Structure 1
Amino acid sequence: MLLLGAVPPMVEMAALVGFGLGAAQALAPQSTAIWPYDSYHDLRWLLVYHDSWPAFVAGLVVVVVARGVLSAGLTALSWPAETPRPSMRQLVRRNIEVAALATVIISPWAAISVAFSAVALSWYLFASVIPLLVIAPFLLRAGVTAHWWKGLPSVQLLLWSVVNFLVITAAGAVIVSVPQWWRVPVAGLAGVANGLLWRTTVIAAVRHERPRWAAVPVTPVVIILTMATAVAAPSLISVASGTTGRWRPPVTAEPLPATVPYAVIVLAGFESGWDGQLPADPRVAHFSYAGVTRDGRPLPYAPEATHRSLDSSAALLAAQVDALHRRTRRPVALLGESEGALVIRTYLEKFPHSPVQAALLFSPLIWPGRAYYPPPGHEGWGTVAGWELRVIAALTNLTKAVDASPDEPFVRSVIVEAPFYRNRILCPVPGIRMMAFLPLVSAAEAPSGEYSRIPVVEVPALHGGLLNRRAIHERAMRFLAGQPVTQPWRGYVVLQRLGAAWQSPPLVLAVNPIWSTSREGDPALSGRICQPR
């Protein structure tokens, strides 16, 4: 049993180390994890690495059958000796059925995980993992008992499902912390732990003969409710990330300190809005996603305006930078949050000769563009993931004031230009003073590896809303005034490693024809950003 639990993670890890795909190596221990983490492992690989509907269907059949057979073997070897065991044929059939069911249940969350890989927003990661914790104890009995769908799981099953989550998390963190070939035995040790957990959960399920509420179909109800939350997840993410609605941070509500030598443009994030209220200081301008008037004044905009492509937003920013520079005769500093930070970085790439001399990036996305899905009517890598996300978005839009789509220009611009955004967001730009303010929660956004080559300030905060904080505003003003900015927190790398196991595997740049002509390196392979082109 322990050998069967250890071998698949070691084989997967050896293949990943040999291929050099370091950004996905933390997933290997999940190949023999208990339900539903094993199926979650399989689906993330499959949703990223298929390039057509036939390829996905064929891969799905192979994955479901292989998962069912492996789980049946682990179940049989874990069965308590004093209890009669079903035949191996019965166990294989039952576990294949469970693997198929788990695929259906977990598929929306695996698709949301792919969305996280595309836009690198940590809320999507949390939204895809938390439901697994909820349904895990209910699925643990599925491959063992015939009436697993009735009654409540035991406290033991609840406990062991949480333990497996912690084992997977810790194993992923250790794997990305040790040298490459040491990762193979570490994956094997994690597989041994998985084997022990299979034994404890099978024994607990077999001996749990009289569950509470034994006549009530509790598990189907929990599964349906959990799957339904996939529809609500995008709306909750928009609210939780603090990027929606009207936005008036201190930099626009108050005069700039006299020590700041710049004129300043402030860029809000995704689905923000602006009513046209002018900043308190004439040296400050609010970037408009709707453009400017004939005399160069930014126009009010609605949240839908933020859905435009990053190239388009960068062109609008160029016009507003030039207008502010002409009006104030000062060098320009750019302050952008979330999507606004991406607009700044796109602008600095597309318009290298400009009046901009400083840039501050707040809650920038880390390593976005790690997944791909083609536009409707086309096939390519991630085809099925794209359609799942479209269905989820269509259902979500029924309850939202502002419709969103996985194919809107902003998202597609990140995906299509993934080689640049995966590599260059936190890279220095010649002639520009730069600093990034990173919320600690965003540490879960990036695979383990290099994430910044510009000075960063780590902030114990969630994504979005940093510019609204008084302490952050004061640090930003000190930076603009040329004063040193301290860094009191150093927990980013630790949290980055702890989140490594729960990310989708990145699509290698070279395999996607859309990306393969890029001169950028691939951090998914090298673990390094800002490499020479």
Structure 2
Amino acid sequence: MGRRQVWLLVLTGLFPTVEAVVLVAMGFVAAEGLAPQTGAVWPYDTYHDLRWMFVYHQSWPEFLTTFWLVMLARTGYHTLMVRLAWPDGMPMPSVPWMFRRGFVLVVVVTVVVSPWAVISVAASVVALSWVLFASLLPMFLIAPFMQRAAMVRVWWRGLPSIRLVGWSLLNLVALTLAGAAAWSVPSWWTVLVAAVAGVVNGLLWIRILRAALLAPPPRWARVPVTPFVVLVAFAVPVLIPLAVDAVPASLRAERVLLDQPLPPEITQAVVVLAGYGSAYGGVRPDDPRVEWFSYRGLGPDGEPLPYGPTDTTISMAESVELLAAQVERLHRRTGRKVALVGESEGALVARTYLSRRPHPAVDALVMFSPLVGAGRAYYPPPGARRGWGLVTGWYLRALFEPVRLTGGPGKGPDEPFIRSLLDDAPFYRNRFMCPVPGVRMVAFLPYTTAAEAPPGDYTGIPVFQTVGVHGGLLDRTQVRDNLVAFLAGAPVQRTRPEYTLIQRLTAGWQAPPLDISANPAWADVREPDPAFTGRVCVPGR
């Protein structure tokens, strides 16, 4: 290895080390998995930068100033990395040409990657794994196409070589493992992990550049493959809301109690709260002790009103009031204790109700696919001129417009339900998964929930971790048996080592959380921040 390559490894190791030192010194444990990406090969370094910028800015001038400074810094960094990694014996372009090419590359990569970075911030607001995966998969797809750009003159035509695709995949694996290791090791050992990851990034710079420069003539050399792949990737934001409908109705959590009468060992009446985008046609469940919660409330006869997907977008305060009325009516009608069984948004409604309007008759709460760690980012309402995530909010509104035009169930990033998560974020980050006196609680967590929030001590209540996707039960019989046992009074709990592993492997791909203490919009309720404590259910000040 020549002197130039040694200097490359020093520099790629230095930048992640510096970021790790800052994060560890601040105690910002939730963001430690991001440090190894600081010196990564594009587009992952750009993805790293954009996530920080989309979360931590308060105005358009602040964002644009930071944006162009980072663009220029990345241009210089890329130019230097390409020169240091350039193979010996090959003619090297001039520095001005490489800088100009590097600037164009940074602009192109930023334009292409920015939608996925802003969607990752949205994922930290709603804590939905499929939103996070939708923000990552397109970027992984375009990475080998974009990684030719700094070295190959006609980079937008033809397919990347198999070798380049392989190195790009290894790049993804290395960053994922580095993020998991950075979070897993104690305190200052994170700095060492970041330094080692930076050296690995340097080796990947060398290999990826060589794979691009020394590749044989590409297949489909006359076809503009890269723009086509980018266009396909841009279609993902339109498809994101449709992912909710991908789970068959037979696997939905609410069907466990609605399809047949309750077993005799269950003595309570039950309110079943379905999730976001659900619908209720007014058909009563088989058991008169079971009611489907209506996002439109009760009719004159006291029965839950039918509702459609758009009705689930109401604010959390409205949902809590409707649930309070329905619980009161069900308790009076049956004379029984009441159990709440909520899935996704329904779980949020039920848990928020227990915090704000608890009825003494409610003695049990079951949450399926709860949104763990929601509200980790923020953006102000449309009329605001300043606030954390200001540009992010407008970017999300622009991205959501095609979804709205295609008839999606929601009303955009400012719909009342989403604003409830933003405005009451400290509660959902710190106290949502905490015990309520006098109420037995359990959360059924599919494995995908592990990817919805940074690793850490995320719950103070029993959990049952199971194979499944958000809103879908892949082992319905097992879940139903445990649900019935819990409602009948038996303790239910199961944790799996693979759940923790998934948490750690996704740690580096989360957007950094916004510090609770930094946001004036949350000043009325000060909560300890799990992003720094690494724990939930810590009493407020």
- Give TM class, smaller chain: over 0.9
Q: Which residue of the partner structure matches residue 48 of structure 2?
A: 41
Which letter maps to 2:271? I
Hey, what's the Cα distance between the residues in 2 that align with 1:348 and 1:428? 10
Q: Which residue of the partner structure matches residue 356 of structure 1?
A: 362
Q: Which residue of the partner structure matches residue 179 of structure 2?
A: 172
Q: Which residue of the partner structure matches residue 342 of structure 1?
A: 348
1:271 aligns to 2:283 (yes or no): no
Hey, what's the Cα distance between the residues in 1 that align with 2:208 and 2:344? 42
Which letter maps to 1:193? V
Which letter maps to 1:310? M
SS of corresponding position for 2:497: coil
Hey, what's the Cα distance between the residues in 2 that align with 1:70 and 1:517? 42
Q: Tell me the CA shift for residue 244 of structure 1.
A: 12
Q: Tell me the CA shift for residue 397 of structure 1.
A: 2.0
Give matches, 1:383-394, under 5 Å. 383-394=390-401
Q: Which residue of the partner structure matches residue 235 of structure 2?
A: 228
Q: Which residue of the partner structure matches residue 447 of structure 2?
A: 440
Hey, what's the Cα distance between the residues in 2 that align with 1:21 and 1:416? 22
Larger mean Cα displacement after TM superposition, 159-168 or 475-484:
475-484
Hey, what's the Cα distance between the residues in 1 that align with 2:424 and 2:351? 12
Which letter maps to 1:11? V
Give matches, 1:121-520, under 5 Å. 121-208=128-215, 210-235=217-242, 237-240=243-246, 249-378=255-384, 379-400=386-407, 402-466=409-473, 469-485=476-492, 487=494, 489-520=496-527
Residues 1:304 and 1:285: Cα distance change in structure 2 (over 3 Å): same
Q: Tell me the CA shift for residue 246 of structure 1.
A: 9.8
Work out whether residues 357 and 433 of structure 1, in 8 Å CA contact, stay in contact via their aligned partners in 2.
Answer: yes
Work out whether residues 335 and 361 of structure 1, in 8 Å CA contact, stay in contact via their aligned partners in 2.
Answer: yes
Q: Which residue of the partner structure matches residue 103 of structure 2?
A: 96
Hey, what's the Cα distance between the residues in 2 that align with 1:341 and 1:466? 15
After superposition, what is the alpha-carbon deviation per residue over 1:319-359, rounded to whole angstroms, capped at 9, x for unaligned? 11110111111111000000000001100000244310000
Residues 1:369 and 1:401: Cα distance change in structure 2 (over 3 Å): closer
After superposition, what is the alpha-carbon deviation per residue over 1:274-331, rounded to whole angstroms, capped at 9, x for unaligned? 0111111111111110001234221111111100011110111011111011111111
Q: TM-score, normalised by structure 1?
A: 0.97
Work out whether residues 246 and 272 of structure 1, in 8 Å CA contact, stay in contact via their aligned partners in 2.
Answer: no
SS of corresponding position for 2:468: coil
Q: After the TM superposition, list the runs of 4 or more consecutive aligned residues in structure 1 that deviate by more than 4 angstroms.
A: 241-248
Work out whether residues 2 and 196 of structure 1, in 8 Å CA contact, stay in contact via their aligned partners in 2.
Answer: yes
Q: Tell me the CA shift for residue 183 of structure 1.
A: 0.3
After superposition, what is the alpha-carbon deviation per residue over 1:438-490, rounded to whole angstroms, capped at 9, x for unaligned? 00111011101111111100011000033992321221111011124352733
Which letter maps to 1:315? E
Q: Which residue of the partner structure matches residue 13 of structure 1?
A: 20
Larger mean Cα displacement after TM superposition, 75-84 or 375-384:
375-384
Work out whether residues 242 and 464 of structure 1, in 8 Å CA contact, stay in contact via their aligned partners in 2.
Answer: no
Hey, what's the Cα distance between the residues in 1 that align with 2:324 and 2:193? 50
Hey, what's the Cα distance between the residues in 2 that align with 1:176 and 1:486? 26
Q: Which residue of the partner structure matches residue 87 of structure 1?
A: 94
Work out whether residues 435 and 455 of structure 1, in 8 Å CA contact, stay in contact via their aligned partners in 2.
Answer: yes
Hey, what's the Cα distance between the residues in 1 that align with 2:489 and 2:473? 20
Q: Tell me the CA shift for residue 242 of structure 1.
A: 6.0
Q: Tell me the CA shift for residue 89 of structure 1.
A: 2.4
Work out whether residues 123 and 132 of structure 2, in 8 Å CA contact, stay in contact via their aligned partners in 1.
Answer: yes
Residues 1:264 and 1:517: Cα distance change in structure 2 (over 3 Å): same
Which letter maps to 1:425? F
Unaligned runs of 5+ in 2: 1-7
SS of corresponding position for 2:508: helix
Tell me the number of residue pairs that the alignment of Structure 1 and Structure 2 aligns: 532
Work out whether residues 341 and 362 of structure 1, in 8 Å CA contact, stay in contact via their aligned partners in 2.
Answer: yes
After superposition, what is the alpha-carbon deviation per residue over 1:192-238, rounded to whole angstroms, capped at 9, x for unaligned? 00000000011111112522222222112211221233322333x22
Residues 1:170 and 1:246: Cα distance change in structure 2 (over 3 Å): closer
Which letter maps to 1:271? G
The share of aligned pairs that are identical, in percent, is 51
Work out whether residues 290 and 301 of structure 1, in 8 Å CA contact, stay in contact via their aligned partners in 2.
Answer: yes
SS of corresponding position for 2:445: strand
Q: Which residue of the partner structure matches residue 5 of structure 2?
A: none
Residues 1:352 and 1:250: Cα distance change in structure 2 (over 3 Å): closer
SS of corresponding position for 2:326: helix
Hey, what's the Cα distance between the residues in 1 that align with 2:227 and 2:498? 40
Q: TM-score, normalised by structure 2?
A: 0.95
Hey, what's the Cα distance between the residues in 2 that align with 1:509 and 1:242? 37
Larger mean Cα displacement after TM superposition, 515-524 or 321-330:
515-524
Which letter maps to 2:517? A
Work out whether residues 40 and 110 of structure 1, in 8 Å CA contact, stay in contact via their aligned partners in 2.
Answer: yes
Q: Which residue of the partner structure matches residue 4 of structure 2?
A: none
Work out whether residues 13 and 28 of structure 1, in 8 Å CA contact, stay in contact via their aligned partners in 2.
Answer: yes
Work out whether residues 253 and 471 of structure 2, in 8 Å CA contact, stay in contact via their aligned partners in 1.
Answer: no
Hey, what's the Cα distance between the residues in 1 that align with 2:525 and 2:228? 48
Work out whether residues 48 and 371 of structure 1, in 8 Å CA contact, stay in contact via their aligned partners in 2.
Answer: yes
Q: Which residue of the partner structure matches residue 65 of structure 1?
A: 72
Q: Which residue of the partner structure matches residue 3 of structure 2?
A: none
SS of corresponding position for 1:176: helix
Which letter maps to 1:252? L
Hey, what's the Cα distance between the residues in 2 that align with 1:149 and 1:33? 22
* RMSD of aligned residue pairs (Cα, Å): 1.8
Work out whether residues 368 and 421 of structure 1, in 8 Å CA contact, stay in contact via their aligned partners in 2.
Answer: yes
Q: Which residue of the partner structure matches residue 28 of structure 1?
A: 35
Hey, what's the Cα distance between the residues in 2 that align with 1:468 and 1:209? 49
Residues 1:413 and 1:98: Cα distance change in structure 2 (over 3 Å): same
Work out whether residues 450 and 502 of structure 2, in 8 Å CA contact, stay in contact via their aligned partners in 1.
Answer: yes
Which letter maps to 2:66? G
Hey, what's the Cα distance between the residues in 2 that align with 1:27 and 1:244? 38
Hey, what's the Cα distance between the residues in 2 that align with 1:295 and 1:355? 22
After superposition, what is the alpha-carbon deviation per residue over 1:176-203, rounded to whole angstroms, capped at 9, x for unaligned? 1101111001000000000000000111
Which letter maps to 2:356? K
Which letter maps to 1:251? L
